[in-house]
Amino acid sequence: MMMRHLTTLYPAAPYRFDLLLDFLGRFAHPTLDVVHDGAYWRALRAGDGLALLRVTDVGRADAPALAVHLAAVTGAVDEALALAELKRVLPLHDRRDFYGYAAGEADLWAVVEPLRGLPELRSASLFEALAQAVIEQQIAWVAAQKAQRWLVEWAGNMIEYGGRAYYAFPTPAQVAGAMVEDLKPTKITFKRMALLIEVAAGTAEGRLALEAMRGMAAEAAYRQLLTIKGVGHWTAVVALERACGHRQWVAHNDVVLQAATNRYFLGGTGRIPPEQVTATFARFGVYGGLAAHYTMLRWVFEKYPAASDLTP
């Protein structure tokens, strides 16, 4: 099919789409959010099929505008649903209140200012967010990316365009149908493979109403996730951040956040205790979760090279 313009979105300024592309370009193993030809590409479920959407920047940081094109489809696609899903994955948040607050806190502003206007991304579903968080438990970030990429390629929910393959995340039924042995190429522990399958089976069979949790109050959803054996504070917080944008909590037991907090706020090197992470962000009140989020993002920009920076 011919690429077709669907709509133009107008986020609140400041909005730095170029920063988002830069950020995604630092992923060693891109899976769902793909940067190619100066655009953001995402395959999304929309009805019974997949829609491949291409998003480009047609505005400025102080007058942002995003052109959305439908590049390709497989199966029966509801275009209105595809757009709704894109707005879920690429929400048009207004963070001016946070930036205003951060500008009054010197150490926080030193972290946030270079990332001012960076768009946020969301997972297409809570199952997707939780499954990815389970894979990332106690594993290096690059290794987790590789495992996630293997999983989406294994499931094969794919749409082709221009000689490239773009993937949607596996359905709960697909993962539930796997055996632990099938997931060995992820190179995560057998315990986490079993947890991934159990979460998928519970979701597919209706015993675990993950998508209903997205409509719950944040604290209620958090408590529900903690009832799943193998899901602790870090996994629940990360899943709810990615799927719903809830930032009431700080993932204080994240080893990267422990090191980043030490570097940017305490001037040290190495990891600090979880209690010290909690205390650091507690002084930012309701913005503590966002402050921690930007601290992690700043670490990614500093520690992981962009694709253009890599030597062939």
pLDDT of amino acid 164: 96
2: confidence class by pLDDT, cuts 50, 70, 90: confident
- Based on the domain organization, do 233 and 136 belong to the same domain? yes
- Based on the domain organization, do 74 and 180 belong to the same domain? no
- Based on the domain organization, do 70 and 149 belong to the same domain? no
- Picking from 185, 215, 244, the residue at the C-terminal end of a domain is 244
**Cα angle at 54 between 49 and 55, to 5 degrees?**
135
- The model's pTM is 0.94
In this structure, is residue 201 part of a structural domain? yes
In this structure, is residue 259 part of a structural domain? no
pLDDT of amino acid 61: 93
Question: Alpha-carbon distance 145 to 305, whole Å?
Answer: 15
Residue with tokens 């300024």: 13
261 residue type, one letter? T
Q: Are 35 and 25 in contact (CB under 8 A)?
A: yes
- Picking from 217, 244, 271, the residue at the C-terminal end of a domain is 244
Question: Alpha-carbon distance 122 to 31, whole Å?
Answer: 14
138: confidence class by pLDDT, cuts 50, 70, 90: confident
- Based on the domain organization, do 153 and 77 belong to the same domain? no
161: confidence class by pLDDT, cuts 50, 70, 90: very high
Which of the pair, 9 or 47, is modelled with greater confidence?
9
Which contiguous run of DSSP H or E holds residue 96? helix 96-102
Each residue of 10-33: pLDDT tens digit?
999 999 999 999 999 999 899 999
In this structure, is residue 279 part of a structural domain? no
CATH number at residue 34: 3.30.310.20
Axis-axis angle for helices 288-303, 17-24 (nearest 10)? 60
Each residue of 280-311: pLDDT tens digit?
999 999 999 999 999 999 999 999 998 654 43
- Picking from 62, 90, 118, the residue at the C-terminal end of a domain is 90
- Structural domain boundaries, residue 232: 126-244
- Based on the domain organization, do 86 and 130 belong to the same domain? no
- Based on the domain organization, do 229 and 139 belong to the same domain? yes
In this structure, is residue 163 part of a structural domain? yes
In this structure, is residue 239 part of a structural domain? yes
Beta bridge partners of 77: 47
- Based on the domain organization, do 237 and 137 belong to the same domain? yes
153 residue type, one letter? E
263 residue type, one letter? R
pLDDT of amino acid 1: 61
Each residue of 224-277: pLDDT tens digit?
999 999 999 999 999 999 999 999 999 999 999 999 999 999 999 999 999 999
Question: Alpha-carbon distance 121 to 44, whole Å?
Answer: 14
The DSSP secondary-structure symbol of 139 reads S
CATH number at residue 238: 1.10.340.30
The chain-wide mean pLDDT, for the chain, equals 95
Q: How many domains does the chain have?
A: 2
Overall average pLDDT of the 40-67 stretch: 96
65: confidence class by pLDDT, cuts 50, 70, 90: very high
Closest residue by Cα to residue 19 from 111, 118, 99:
118
157 residue type, one letter? N
Question: Alpha-carbon distance 190 to 220, whole Å?
Answer: 29
